[in-house]
A and B are shown apart, each in its own frame.
Chain A
Amino acid sequence: MLSRRNASLRQNWKKISAFHAKRGTRGKIDNYSENEAQTVPILTRKSAESAYILGSPFFMNVLSVDNLHVTIADKKIVRGLTLSVPRGEVHAIMGPNGSGKSTLAKVLAGHPDYLVTQGKVTMDGDNLLELDPDERARRGLFLAFQYPSEIPGVTIANFLRAAVQARLPEGEELEATDYYAKLYEKMELLGMDRSFTSRSVNEGFSGGEKKRTEILQLAMLEPKYAVLDETDSGLDIDALKTVAHGVNKMRGPNIGILLITHYQRLLNYIIPDHVHVMVAGSIVRSGRKELALELEERGYDWAREESHEMAVK
């Protein structure tokens, strides 16, 4: 078991390494030979830390999806999807309706309705698929929902407080004053009125308010990886700018962001490092940010044809 995992991790690294080497963008990676990589045992957190000290945070600091296949009620939705989102980068997945984008988001978060039939998902080297949704969240995965649930009677302040508290070691109590100071700071960033905290989570919220609340939670919980599922849908241009501003403020070396969107519009405000096009359950094209513009111009049919050609080959 141990060696198998080790091997698969190595394999994984190879892929990541190849992925970036092809682009020639990651000097750090290019400096590593495969042999060197194999000499580093990537099994425990501890070894990951030592790898970090050696100047390579790369093995562990990545959300990695490998040949993922997903069905819901026997219907195949995701078919062999491979993707790596390292911390410090923003990746965008674009795709037409029904391409499986939202399914991917939910599977990453561990939604019980979806069945993973094949493939792997790891976060910082941990097998995500064997963890409960709450465990994934506490280890640093955040999903901004396309349709966030309402929780009647539970205020935003209390809800977020419980969520922040859930991340503290057992026996440690959250300091109320620190919590509120941080909450108000993040709300200001997102142009939210303080009175918002006493409203029940998402209950009677407008579309824009819901999305803004998702980003507020993102800012408060400071995850290692954030998946934003159609965060732009239902937003007018002002709300979109505010939300984008909030996300941009979060960007940095400690977080990997995966934006899932139907339209290019969002990417004018949150500039991604990489863009992937998803069609019929897998990624058919990846590129730099310019790909989004190309896609906008040429349409998904163009990407679909590509996909078809690939399938024929």
Chain B
Amino acid sequence: MKTETSAVDIDRNKGNFSYDVAHAYDAGTGLSEKTIHYISDVKEDPDWVREFRLKALKTFLEKPMPTHWASKDLEAIDFDKIRYYLSGGTQAKRTWEEVPEDVKRTFERLGIPEQERKFLAGVEAQFDSEAVYSNIKKAVGEQGVIFVGSTEGLKNHPDIFRKWFGKVIPIGDNKFSALNSAVFSGGSFIYVPPGVKVKHPLQAYFRINAENFGQFERTLIICDEGSELTYMEGCTAPKFNTATLHSAVVELIALKGAKLQYITVQNWSENVFNLVTKRGIAHEDAEVKWIDCNIGSRLTMKYPGVIMKGRKARGEVLSIALANNGQHQDTGAKMIHAADETTSNIISKSISVGTGRATYRGLVNVPKHLKNCKNNTECDALLINSTSRTDTYPAITVRGTGNAVQHEASVSQVSAEQIFYMQQRGLTEAQAMSLSVNGFVNDLVRQFPMEYSVELKRLIELEMEGSVG
């Protein structure tokens, strides 16, 4: 594997380091009402949030693990051994210089300040539980765009925050959304005023630095009527010996005519349980698009969804999952049609390498009373080795007349002849593999913003390099 990398790329080894950081606030291990009160006290939560958390804790404890349909591996999570809140303080810094030296080191090594200078309209960096740095370019801020950590959003913009918070994904949606609702901290809060088109993407960077830690960020994005936004998130964690938990909740609201694009490139180390709930609501003529790239982690369960609430709303999920040795990528999409003339599109590509396993779960629902709704689903799986595994569970319910649905699925394998052919042209086996894999995802990656498609290509190369001979 590579040991040296340039500053702006994010690769697995790049994230594989940790520094000892003294945390001023530490909720200790285990989860109880005491933990909730500790978090609420530190964060100076208003009463309604404290109550929301306590209610969520109850729901979390009541709900069984979803192992009747999902992986039994979930049982390996020991909730009593996890640390639920760690921070150096709740105030995010506005200039890079103010960020504490030990934390700054981490992000500089990951290339965050460079990224910001290069092409972002704003960046937020979260270190364990809280945002440590949050900055939005002046011009964008002057347009009335709010981009802060969720703790600050709750404090300084309570009206907008409370109006939308927990509305797209209720506490009891699933066990892990309940867990997040109980102990959430950090994540982004974004509001884009009517008609404002944010030209450059906003980005958040999530970093787990402590062992046995659970990161529970909560992101809430509201695009007001006719506005446009692209948001990108990246995640890393070092390789610890024990499992680490990442359980985020992301809620998106696109009001009439708004366009919201949410891009994730995840590159977790291989012992992270990544159990994330992501959903958006698209009002009339609005569009919510998820671009989701899942690389790394021990188990990822994530099914970004769009509820098309208004007429002519559009929902889209483009996802790529790469399951390497010992990893399970259980991903997919949910499309809920709730108005006439709504259209949704799902394109999912997965690659299984070695003993890796990729699972696609799709839910498409078009009720009887709707007219002229359309869904297109394509899911393609690529198997690299004979030990690789892929499963597809599409659940498509389309009722009524005048609605159209189209579903295509394929499973292919990189053949020995194909690899030999490429080797005969001078490519090593690993190069040949990564070229095949990149070819497989190519038509999808072409739709990604340039910076991310380049990064993704590199990540795939690194994964394939490590998987051959």
Please give the residue numbers on chain A whose beta carbons come within 8 Å of chain B beta carbons, in ascending order. Answer: 109-112, 132-134, 136-138, 142-143, 145, 148-154, 158-160, 162-163, 166-167, 200, 217, 221
With A162-B431, A166-B431 known as contacts, the answer to whether A137 contacts B424 (CB < 8 A) is yes
Closest CB in chain A relative to B28 CB, distance in Å: 50
Closest CB in chain B relative to A114 CB, distance in Å: 11
Interfacial chain A residues near B438, Cβ < 8 Å:
153-154
**Cβ contact of B427, chosen from A109, A150, A152, A162, cutoff 8 A:** A162
With A112-B416, A138-B426, A166-B426 known as contacts, the answer to whether A154 contacts B421 (CB < 8 A) is no
Interface 9-mer from B193-201, B259-267, B325-333, B440-448? B440-448
**Cβ contact of A132, chosen from B415, B423, B440, B443, cutoff 8 A:** B423
- Most B C-beta atoms less than 10 A away, residue of A112, A151, A166: A151
Cβ–Cβ contact B425 & A149, under 8 A: no
With A151-B436, A154-B436, A162-B427 known as contacts, the answer to whether A133 contacts B420 (CB < 8 A) is yes
Closest CB in chain A relative to B6 CB, distance in Å: 13
Binding site secondary structure of chain B: helix
**Which residue of A has the minimal Cβ distance to B432?**
A134
Cβ–Cβ contact B436 & A134, under 8 A: no
Q: How distant is the Cα of A158 from the Cα of B445 in the complex, in angstroms?
A: 15
Cβ–Cβ contact A153 & B422, under 8 A: no
Kindly supply a per-residue 1/0 record for chain B positions 427-440, scoring 1 wherever the CB is within 8 Å of any chain A CB and 0 otherwise. Answer: 11101100110111
Interfacial chain B residues near A162, Cβ < 8 Å:
425, 427, 431, 435
Closest CB in chain A relative to B429 CB, distance in Å: 7
**Cβ contact of B439, chosen from A133, A137, A145, A151, cutoff 8 A:** A151
- Most B C-beta atoms less than 10 A away, residue of A133, A158, A159: A133
19 contacts between A and B (CB under 8 A): A110-B423, A112-B420, A133-B424, A134-B423, A134-B424, A149-B415, A149-B421, A152-B412, A152-B439, A153-B440, A153-B443, A158-B435, A159-B422, A160-B425, A162-B425, A163-B425, A166-B426, A221-B425, A221-B426
Question: Is B401 interfacial (CB-CB < 8 Å)?
Answer: no
Interfacial chain A residues near B421, Cβ < 8 Å:
145, 148-149, 151
Question: Is B417 interfacial (CB-CB < 8 Å)?
Answer: yes
Please classify how large the interface on chain B is, using the bins under 10, 10 to 19, 20 to 34, 35 or more: 20 to 34
Closest CB in chain B relative to A224 CB, distance in Å: 13
Closest CB in chain A relative to B191 CB, distance in Å: 39
Question: Is B156 interfacial (CB-CB < 8 Å)?
Answer: no
Cβ–Cβ contact A134 & B435, under 8 A: no
The 10 A-B pairs with the shortest beta carbon distances in the complex, nearest first, are A153-B439, A154-B439, A153-B442, A149-B421, A163-B425, A166-B426, A133-B423, A137-B426, A134-B423, A138-B426
Cβ–Cβ contact B439 & A134, under 8 A: no
**Cβ contact of A200, chosen from B416, B425, B427, B439, cutoff 8 A:** B439
Question: Is B143 interfacial (CB-CB < 8 Å)?
Answer: no
Q: How distant is the Cα of A166 from the Cα of B426 in the complex, in angstroms?
A: 6
**Which residue of A has the minimal Cβ distance to B446?**
A153
Closest CB in chain B relative to A111 CB, distance in Å: 6
Cβ–Cβ contact B417 & A217, under 8 A: no
Interfacial chain B residues near A152, Cβ < 8 Å:
412, 439-440
Closest CB in chain B relative to A166 CB, distance in Å: 4
Q: How distant is the Cα of A148 from the Cα of B418 in the complex, in angstroms?
A: 9
Cβ–Cβ contact A134 & B429, under 8 A: yes
Cβ–Cβ contact B440 & A134, under 8 A: no
Closest CB in chain A relative to B445 CB, distance in Å: 9
List 6 other contacts, CB 8 Å, given A159-B422, A162-B425: A111-B420, A134-B432, A137-B426, A152-B440, A159-B425, A221-B425
Closest CB in chain A relative to B327 CB, distance in Å: 23
Interfacial chain B residues near A148, Cβ < 8 Å:
421
Closest CB in chain B relative to A172 CB, distance in Å: 14
Closest CB in chain B relative to A197 CB, distance in Å: 15
Cβ–Cβ contact A159 & B435, under 8 A: yes
